[in-house]
Structure 1
Amino acid sequence: WISCSERMPEDEQEVIVHNKLGYRYVSYFDEHSGLFFDMRGGNQMNCIEHILVTHWMPLPAAPEPEQS
């Protein structure tokens, strides 16, 4: 986990966030506003409680397709 006080994600990077209440969300970071959103290009109506976000981490790589 990376502390928000240490550094923030890249613009529009999809990350997992952890907030002060112990909840975790997948969200996108918007560098311009400094907010986390639940969808890329989101608006204020769907922003995550960014004030409560304390840590974030990059998503792991997607699984490889299974070979049959």
Structure 2
Amino acid sequence: MGKRRGNPNWGKPDIRTVPVATSFEEIVNTIGLSPGEYEGSGVLKEWVRRNKEHKYVPTDLLKVWGFSVKSEL
């Protein structure tokens, strides 16, 4: 019998993948904010202003603060 071709693990989930918190989630936890406190936080707003182009930020929060992101799609 010849050599089997293809990846035998194709279609199977990668069990080595571990969920990791986003940078946004890390800063929110560091500051100690709950979702209801996001809009009123000056520290979070400044972080979002500096990082909105290259870090994940919820779109609803961007809209509330009037920030826009340059899309490269």
User: For the superposition of Structure 1 and Structure 2, which TM-score range results when normalised by the shorter chain?
Assistant: under 0.3
Structure number having the greater strand percentage: 1
TM-score, reference length from structure 1: 0.21
Structure of higher RCO (CA pairs closer than 8 Å, 6+ residues apart): 1
Instruction: Tell me which structure has the larger Cα radius of gyration.
Output: 2
